[in-house]
Structure 1
Amino acid sequence: MNPLKHVAIIMDGNGRWGIKHKNSRNAGHKAGLNTVEKIIKETIKKKISFLTLYVFSTENWKRPKEEVNYLFKLLENFLISRIEDLHAQNIKLKIIGIKNFSKNLNKLLKYSEKKTSKNTSLQINLALNYGSKTEILHALKLISKNKKKITEKNFINYLQTKNIPDPDLLIRTGNTNRLSNFLLWQLAYSEIFFEKKLWPAFNVKDYNKIIKKYKKIKRNYGNI
């Protein structure tokens, strides 16, 4: 069976679920947070070391200002109410992306990372204001600025995911079959599962079903 160290998830479908069930996109985002908590618990139970969640992309700024503000307030409230519990569970929190938010949120993100920096049971990477193309261009600029030779090893060392293993498995909910500028370099050899369910409807049983399928896949990495 394939070892599973790192799961990445594109949590798509919150807004559509909210419109369908509550006539509110924001209600879908709130419901999606409940799914996040369940998946975190199951990830710990499965002894998976890394979980990367695509929370907010560089393209998501195009959404209505009211929705964007609600998303960040939801994140603030989650961290304020849950960071001590996450720390107690030995969970490490890391932010990948550009921390270009409000003063309060930036301070809270910095505190959360520092508070949990030495924890070891699970590392949760929150992709916030993240875009893979931006990350790749920034890495190349840093290599040039530091006059380093462009090699795969050097390039990886300038990515925001330095010291994080590439995802073994990517799950995207929401019945959409694309990567949406997420971890384009890191997903080169990941197994990808597209799930029809919208994120708030995704559950632990669905998660385990995908993991079970993943473990049975023959992974060749270019070999036969």
Structure 2
Amino acid sequence: MSGAAVLLNARPPAHIAIIMDGNGRWATRRGLPRTAGHKKGVEAVRRVLEAARELGVSYLTLFSFSSENWSRPEGEVSELMHLLRFYLRGEIATLHKNGVRLRIIGDRSRLAPDIVTLIRNAETLTANNTGLTLVMALSYGSRQEIANAARHLAEEVKAGRMTADQVTVESLGASLYTQDIPDPDLVIRTSGEKRISNFLLWQMAYAELVFVETLWPDFGRQELDDAIQEFHRRDRRYGATVGTR
């Protein structure tokens, strides 16, 4: 069997995380408003989610809206929130039918009350599903997440519920939004940018990073397959010396 065939038949990474970048540029290149790119990006989410399910991926995390995105023009933020409402209302029944569990990570305090209610209802409806887990990072910033976790542990120490010696890598990790989600194996960023933009800084410590030129609205099954094949070509050593695991 050829090396290419082996890669094609290899098991996919258990957890893939994607920084979905390029919606605005996709629209600009076509003389369209940025909001058109965001709408097209929702179609890419559907394609990639279906592909991930078919491939047997267990966790798919999508960087949907960062804490920094709140500083974008009011009209664009409003449209993004409208699309979020549309997705939460229109797609959840399909996710549930397909056995997908939805998880939302991020600062919900900045989201509108009706969106928080939609999130809560969607998570409750899909909580017992055993297929792929779709994690959407909304109003999310990794530095803030880590700071919140550190603050929580400091308060626990101050209250006498734990000692300073019990503040460990494990206890901090257990205080993050992703406490019951495995760390990503593969992180993909679209659009040709080579940054991680305050996304899963703690969790991606040993993830393989793949940067692709494709703008997010054009990303699909083939691009996902290519990224997974690149992942399988990597020698993951987790900080160990060459030749060890």
TM over 0.5: yes
Deviation >2 Å, runs of 4+: none
State the partner residue of 2:52. 43
1:131 maps to 2:146: no
The correspondence for 1:178, drawn from 172, 192, 195, is 195
Aligned 1:46-195 pairs, distance under 5 A:
46-99=55-108, 100-147=110-157, 148=162, 149-195=166-212
Q: Which amino acid aligns with 1:165?
A: P
In the alignment, is the contact (CA less than 8 A) between 2:23 and 2:40 conserved in 1? yes
**Change in CA separation of 1:12 and 1:3 when aligned onto 2, cut-off 3 Å:** closer
Deviations 1:66-101 (A, max 9, x none): 000100110111111111110011100011001121
Deviation at 1:22, TM superposition (A): 4.2
Deviation at 1:213, TM superposition (A): 1.7
- Distance in 2, matches of 1:105 and 1:153, equals 32
Unaligned runs of 5+ in 2: 1-9
State the partner residue of 1:30. 39
- Distance in 2, matches of 1:22 and 1:60, equals 22
- Distance in 2, matches of 1:101 and 1:201, equals 28
Give the TM-score, by structure 2 length.
0.89
In the alignment, is the contact (CA less than 8 A) between 1:35 and 1:199 conserved in 2? yes
Deviation at 1:163, TM superposition (A): 1.2
- Distance in 1, matches of 2:181 and 2:34, equals 33
Deviation at 1:216, TM superposition (A): 2.4
Deviation at 1:2, TM superposition (A): 6.9
Give the TM-score, by structure 1 length.
0.97
- Distance in 1, matches of 2:11 and 2:211, equals 19
Deviation at 1:145, TM superposition (A): 1.1
In the alignment, is the contact (CA less than 8 A) between 2:105 and 2:177 conserved in 1? yes
RMSD over aligned Cα, in angstroms?
Answer: 1.1
State the partner residue of 1:19. 28
- Distance in 1, matches of 2:126 and 2:219, equals 27
- Distance in 2, matches of 1:202 and 1:58, equals 24
Partner SS state of residue 146, structure 1: helix
Deviation at 1:174, TM superposition (A): 1.2
Larger radius of gyration: 2
**Change in CA separation of 1:221 and 1:2 when aligned onto 2, cut-off 3 Å:** farther
Unaligned runs of 5+ in 1: none
Deviation at 1:3, TM superposition (A): 5.6
State the partner residue of 1:209. 226
Partner SS state of residue 160, structure 1: coil
Deviations 1:84-138 (A, max 9, x none): 1100111000110011211211110110111111111010110000000000000
**Change in CA separation of 1:2 and 1:204 when aligned onto 2, cut-off 3 Å:** closer
In the alignment, is the contact (CA less than 8 A) between 1:2 and 1:215 conserved in 2? no
Calculate percent identity across the aligned residue pairs. Answer: 40
Q: Which amino acid aligns with 2:235?
A: K
